Chains A and B, each alone.
Chain A
Amino acid sequence: MTLPAASIPVIPRGVRLHHDKVRNQWVLLAPERTISLDPIGHAILLEIDGTRTFETIARTLADKYDAPLDQITSDVGEYLHGLMIRRIMDVAT
């Protein structure tokens, strides 16, 4: 499952990126859910600013990590879709 290139992922209100100093890791805090982020998940979320499109985000990450764009597009799309169906991520239209 991937997202339309022009869609804009948004971290909705009620979801916060938080540094857990006790466990020394980044987490996403959401209603009744705490999602531990590995470095990849954290890198993806840092790219989401509510204005950039999915395509731009995938390109930026592919450049940054020197990885093939279609691979990154599919991995990031799957990751974001997983958050969307749990209402932890929205898409602006």
Chain B
Amino acid sequence: MKVPPPIAMLAELTHRCPLSCPYCSNPLDLARKEQELPTHVWADAFRQAADLGVLQLHLSGGEPAARRDLTELVAAARAAGLYTNLITSAIGLTERRLQDLDEAGLDHVQLSLQGTDAEMADYIGGYKGGFKRKMQAAEWIGELGIPLTLNTVLHRKNLHQLPQAIEMAMDMGARRIEVAIVQFHGWALKNRDSLMPTKEQADTASKIVAEARKRLEGRLVLDYVPADYHSNAPKRCMGGWGMVGLNIAPDGHVLPCHAAQTIPQLTFERIGETPLKDIWYHSAAFNAYRGDAWMQEPCRSCEFKGRDFGGCRCQAMALAGDAAATDPVCSKSPLHHKVKALVDNQDVVEDLTFRAAAAP
């Protein structure tokens, strides 16, 4: 099969983060600071990515502002010709640092929102005073005129705040809001029972988004990730394994998706050791689930296999114990009833397990 060049790259600069959101998509085994790639290796990775065809770079983490060299990294990304987006909680971004990032050519900021008031946001983020600092940073971002997207992860405990989150995006002058209902990978999988939205919540969210899209057309763009387990059709994961984007973990491992390391039979190569081009086109991990030769029934003979690629590989691993199985979210999966049972099981109200701090 003909493999296209990648369009997007997610650079997980660090796993360190002052917050400890219970839905964090970072792996349970967090990279330590001394495992993180140095500035020049990232800069070289950005150049290799641009040469390979990447257009959009997302600087993420953990909290990317925990890297002292963030401004240098933004400058290096822009010098490589990449559209540079910073995904941040804004904790650790002072006015001075934002000015520096602006001067370095930062294209866009995606600000995470844990809740629409201090009580909720500081509870979910596990960091007292975090909300206040975030709101202050949002003001500076607005003053500097850096284009802003608000990104909110919704779950059982904060889904009722969706209307306020949309209003906040408008008040902050954001052009976009990403409304994502929690997806169960990483730490979120550990907290699945307590974060799982009720069916009513999931339906209400879809209605609120549809209404707001109409009402705010031309003013605010709403991108929506609906509740995954509540669906009968699996999500089109990553636009296809190894087809659109790639991730680099803090320690340099190059991954087809942020959760790929949960698939135990895959091994990953590292940036700085193997050229990015070889990893993208020739590595075993990137080729593992390209095309459809790896598929099992019912996907193999299904008319939708070109549309959803059999769903999420990491979810098949987590729920079916086999990364090549049909994603159990699909109603054709023999395990689909288990997913439905998890959605129906609404009595469990457990405490949250907050994300651990990555060793400094």
Q: Using a CB–CB distance below 8 Å, which chain B residues touch chain A?
A: 5, 7, 51-53, 55-56, 81, 83, 85, 107-108, 110, 145-147, 149, 175-176, 178, 217-221, 223
Contact = CB atoms under 8 A, between A and B. Distances in A.
B175 A31 contact: yes
Contacts of A13: 145-147
Interface in A1-40: 12-14, 16, 18, 20, 22-23, 27, 29, 31-32, 34
B221 A14 contact: no
Given A14-B107, A20-B55, A34-B7, A29 B147 contact: no
A32 B223 contact: yes
A87 interface: yes
Given A18-B81, A22-B5, A86-B221, A32 B149 contact: yes
Contact of B217 (A12, A14, A16, A85): A85
Contact of B51 (A18, A22, A87): A22
Contacts of A22: 5, 51-53
Given A31-B147, A32-B176, A23 B53 contact: yes
Contact of A29 (B53, B56, B217): B56
A85 B7 CA distance: 23
B55 A87 contact: no
Nearest to B149: A31
Contacts, number: 56
A34 B83 CA distance: 10
Contacts of A20: 53, 55
A84 interface: yes
Contact of B107 (A16, A23, A86): A16
Given A31-B85, A31-B147, A32-B85, 18 more contacts: A14-B107, A14-B147, A18-B83, A20-B55, A22-B5, A22-B51, A23-B53, A31-B107, A31-B110, A31-B149, A31-B175, A32-B149, A32-B176, A32-B178, A32-B223, A34-B83, A85-B217, A87-B219
Nearest to B52: A22
Interface string A54-71: 000000000000000000
Given A20-B55, A23-B5, A85-B218, A29 B83 contact: yes
A14 B178 CA distance: 17
Contacts of B218: 84-85, 87
Contacts of B55: 18, 20, 27, 29, 34
A87 B56 contact: no
Contacts of A31: 85, 107-108, 110, 147, 149, 175-176
A32 B221 CA distance: 11
A27 B81 CA distance: 13
Contacts of B56: 29, 32, 34
A62 B139 CA distance: 44
B8 to A, nearest CB: 8
A34 B51 CA distance: 17
A86 B107 CA distance: 17
B160 to A, nearest CB: 26
